[in-house]
A and B are shown apart, each in its own frame.
Chain A
Amino acid sequence: MQRYLLSVAVIEEKCTGCMKCMKKCPTEAIRIRHGKATVMEDRCIDCAECMKVCPTRAWVARTDSYASLSRFKYKIALPAPALYSQFSRDVLPDTILKGLRELAFDDVYDVTYASEVFGVVLKDFFESYQNARPAISSVCPVVVKLIQVKFPDLTDLLVPLESPRGIAAMDAKLRMSKKLGIRYEDISAVYITPCPAKIIPITQPQCKEVSPLDAAISIADIYGLLLSAMRKASSKQEELHLSGADGISWAITGGELRYLGTEGCLAVDGIDNVIEVLENVEDEKISGIKYLALRACPGGCVSGALNVDNPFLARNKILRLAQMFAQRKSVGREQVRAFYQQGFFTCDIKPRPLPMEPLDRDTLRAIQKIKERDKIFETLPRIDCGACGAPTCRSLAEDIVQGRAALTDCIVKLLERGKA
């Protein structure tokens, strides 16, 4: 089986083993071993909660570095809609796009424009959708991964459309290749990302056989460079930013609702809330909902781990921009049709289930392990102190049964024995 590459990694020298990430991890994928955080790769869903909570910045994103972009012949910058929320209130998207072009990019492409096209296509999909269970947005890679790992039965519900950023990449490359008369293959699309997870569909494509995007660099990594580039950028009027309120709103939770309406469409954000609603879908407790707009980060991409600004301020700025460009006409049917004809939306492959292993592949042995685990759990202090290196007493019991830990790892039990 293909080894799963995570979008985050821990720098051991910086890790103090403080357990904050272990406690926060929504899939209990982190253990502290020999005083350092380690990840169980098959459980990680790339949500970067560990990175957000780490006090010593020991967690880093495995995004591409700015320097590494020199490996590409021609490159286009494609900023996530969230980038428009990262500067002071009077900075307009056009200025940001101009600034990006001043950096090591040959061109820029306004992803919010492709998002608007995507929204129209999503609406068509939504209106013809016939299934007792709701379709689930496949835009957030963390949600996709969460479903593959924890809710494998729901993978079929993921919307089978290329993401707005993927569509943007294809359109950007096609335009540039026509404009400059260069080969499509020689052009690289670089996503300016607000979270580490966006690197995942690039290395492990989930719609097209080959990802339309070629690299992703962190907003935080180029923020300083971009700020000074924006100051240098010309003040000449240029129409780089093309979207209206609909396109800009993709940076925040519920961007889809602008197209689909609130009837039958539910927007949920925050990884724990997303997990809860997926449990409900699995148990068929949700009715009257045709579409779930799920985002792992609270508030949407504006609170991704690689942003610079306060998520609430960022959200406010997106709302403000949306208002400012509310009068601008959204994309028309002709533009959407042009995208359609290129086959931009069609998926050749789909995300496959990657279910967490049961306690044992052999049913009888799995049941035996459940019994042992529960018996061990009864003897543990059940205060979930984490000192053993596992997030909860229950997870320690499971680790013991699986041979990943020992009963002597429990500090409380050790103290009890010392007293006796």
Chain B
Amino acid sequence: MQDREAGELLLEKRFSIEGGNFIHAGGVSSSIKKILKDIGIRSEIIRRASIACYEAEMNVVAYAKKGEVTFRVTQQHLQVLFKDEGQGIENIGLAMQEGYSTATDAIREMGFGAGMGLPNIKRNVDHLNIESMVGVGTTLEMIIYT
């Protein structure tokens, strides 16, 4: 997945996400937002990246044991990889449909799990690739052209 035509790699940062920890959820996406502001990326791009990263981060927190995030800035685009160890997605096609959700009541009670996560990511990025294995985990790659 990584060898998409991208031009030179300019910056790479790694973060980790703790599954089930809703208190610190959102930290990775706000770190990424801060870096993008420091770089001076166009605000429209920052907005899309922040929304997509936040959704992806919440998915890891809600459905996985833990996750690793790799954030790359290349000459042409931003690439963010979310790789988690978790329950995986059984049917990616279904998961991409708005309103479809496998969230437990506990997660819904916290205001998550409305089935808008993946569709919302898709709306905000230029490319979205999902690979998942049930019981093992999910890898999500998103690309936004700068």
Q: Interface residues, chain A, CB within 8 Å of chain B?
A: 152-153, 279, 282-285, 355-361, 363-364, 366-367, 369-371
Residues in B neighbouring A366, C-beta threshold 8 A:
38-40
In the complex, the answer to whether B38 meets A283 with C-beta atoms within 8 Å is no
**Which listed segment binds A: B47-55, B60-68, B135-143?**
B47-55
In the complex, the answer to whether B38 meets A359 with C-beta atoms within 8 Å is yes
Chain A proximity of B25: nearest CB distance (Å): 11
In the complex, whether B35 has a CB less than 8 A from a CB of chain A is yes
In the complex, the answer to whether A361 meets B11 with C-beta atoms within 8 Å is no
Q: Assuming the A-B contacts A283-B51, A284-B51, are A370 and B39 also in contact, with contact meaning beta carbons closer than 8 angstroms in the complex?
A: yes
Q: Interface residues, chain B, CB within 8 Å of chain A?
A: 10-11, 26, 29-30, 33, 35, 37-41, 43, 47, 50-51, 54, 73
Chain B proximity of A278: nearest CB distance (Å): 12
In the complex, the answer to whether A285 meets B54 with C-beta atoms within 8 Å is yes
In the complex, the answer to whether A279 meets B38 with C-beta atoms within 8 Å is no
A105–B47 CA distance with the chains assembled, in angstroms: 50
Q: Assuming the A-B contacts A279-B30, A371-B11, are A358 and B50 also in contact, with contact meaning beta carbons closer than 8 angstroms in the complex?
A: no
In the complex, the answer to whether B50 meets A282 with C-beta atoms within 8 Å is yes
Q: Assuming the A-B contacts A279-B30, A283-B29, are A367 and B43 also in contact, with contact meaning beta carbons closer than 8 angstroms in the complex?
A: no
Residues in B neighbouring A357, C-beta threshold 8 A:
40
With CB as the reference atom, state the residue of chain B lying closest to A150.
Answer: B37
Other A-B pairs beyond A283-B26, A363-B40, 14, CB < 8 Å: A152-B43, A282-B33, A282-B50, A283-B33, A283-B54, A284-B47, A356-B37, A363-B39, A364-B10, A366-B38, A366-B40, A367-B10, A370-B11, A370-B39
> Which of A285, A364, A369 is most buried by chain B, counting CB atoms within 10 A of its CB?
A285
With CB as the reference atom, state the residue of chain B lying closest to A153.
Answer: B43
* Complex partner residue of A367 from B29, B37, B73, CB under 8 angstroms: B73
29 residue pairs of the A-B complex, CB under 8 angstroms, read A152-B43, A279-B30, A282-B33, A283-B26, A283-B30, A283-B33, A283-B50, A283-B51, A284-B47, A285-B26, A356-B37, A357-B40, A358-B37, A358-B38, A358-B40, A359-B38, A359-B40, A360-B40, A361-B40, A363-B39, A363-B40, A364-B10, A366-B39, A367-B11, A367-B73, A370-B35, A370-B38, A370-B39, A371-B11
**Main SS at interface, chain B:** helix
With CB as the reference atom, state the residue of chain A lying closest to B49.
Answer: A283
Residues in A neighbouring B37, C-beta threshold 8 A:
356, 358
With CB as the reference atom, state the residue of chain B lying closest to A370.
Answer: B38
* Complex partner residue of A282 from B39, B40, B47, B73, CB under 8 angstroms: B47
Residues in A neighbouring B54, C-beta threshold 8 A:
283, 285
Chain A proximity of B16: nearest CB distance (Å): 17
Residues in B neighbouring A358, C-beta threshold 8 A:
37-40
Residues in A neighbouring B11, C-beta threshold 8 A:
367, 370-371
A359–B47 CA distance with the chains assembled, in angstroms: 19
In the complex, the answer to whether B29 meets A359 with C-beta atoms within 8 Å is no
Residues in A neighbouring B33, C-beta threshold 8 A:
282-283
With CB as the reference atom, state the residue of chain B lying closest to A284.
Answer: B51
A282–B54 CA distance with the chains assembled, in angstroms: 11
In the complex, the answer to whether B30 meets A359 with C-beta atoms within 8 Å is no
Chain B proximity of A140: nearest CB distance (Å): 23
Chain A proximity of B30: nearest CB distance (Å): 7
A396–B145 CA distance with the chains assembled, in angstroms: 32
Chain B proximity of A354: nearest CB distance (Å): 13
A213–B30 CA distance with the chains assembled, in angstroms: 39
With CB as the reference atom, state the residue of chain B lying closest to A359.
Answer: B38
The 3 residue pairs across chains A and B that have the minimum distance between CB atoms: A358-B40, A366-B39, A283-B50
With CB as the reference atom, state the residue of chain A lying closest to B30.
Answer: A279
A358–B46 CA distance with the chains assembled, in angstroms: 13
With CB as the reference atom, state the residue of chain A lying closest to B44.
Answer: A153
Chain B proximity of A374: nearest CB distance (Å): 8
With CB as the reference atom, state the residue of chain B lying closest to A364.
Answer: B10
In the complex, the answer to whether B39 meets A359 with C-beta atoms within 8 Å is yes
> Which of A283, A357, A361 is most buried by chain B, counting CB atoms within 10 A of its CB?
A283
Chain A proximity of B141: nearest CB distance (Å): 20
With CB as the reference atom, state the residue of chain A lying closest to B36.
Answer: A358
Residues in B neighbouring A367, C-beta threshold 8 A:
10-11, 39, 73
Residues in A neighbouring B30, C-beta threshold 8 A:
279, 283
With CB as the reference atom, state the residue of chain B lying closest to A279.
Answer: B30
Residues in B neighbouring A356, C-beta threshold 8 A:
37
A94–B29 CA distance with the chains assembled, in angstroms: 53
A151–B39 CA distance with the chains assembled, in angstroms: 16
A285–B120 CA distance with the chains assembled, in angstroms: 12
Residues in A neighbouring B73, C-beta threshold 8 A:
367
A386–B109 CA distance with the chains assembled, in angstroms: 42
A364–B39 CA distance with the chains assembled, in angstroms: 8
Chain B proximity of A266: nearest CB distance (Å): 15
A184–B37 CA distance with the chains assembled, in angstroms: 46
A283–B121 CA distance with the chains assembled, in angstroms: 12
A355–B11 CA distance with the chains assembled, in angstroms: 23
Residues in B neighbouring A283, C-beta threshold 8 A:
26, 29-30, 33, 47, 50-51, 54
A361–B43 CA distance with the chains assembled, in angstroms: 14
A370–B37 CA distance with the chains assembled, in angstroms: 11
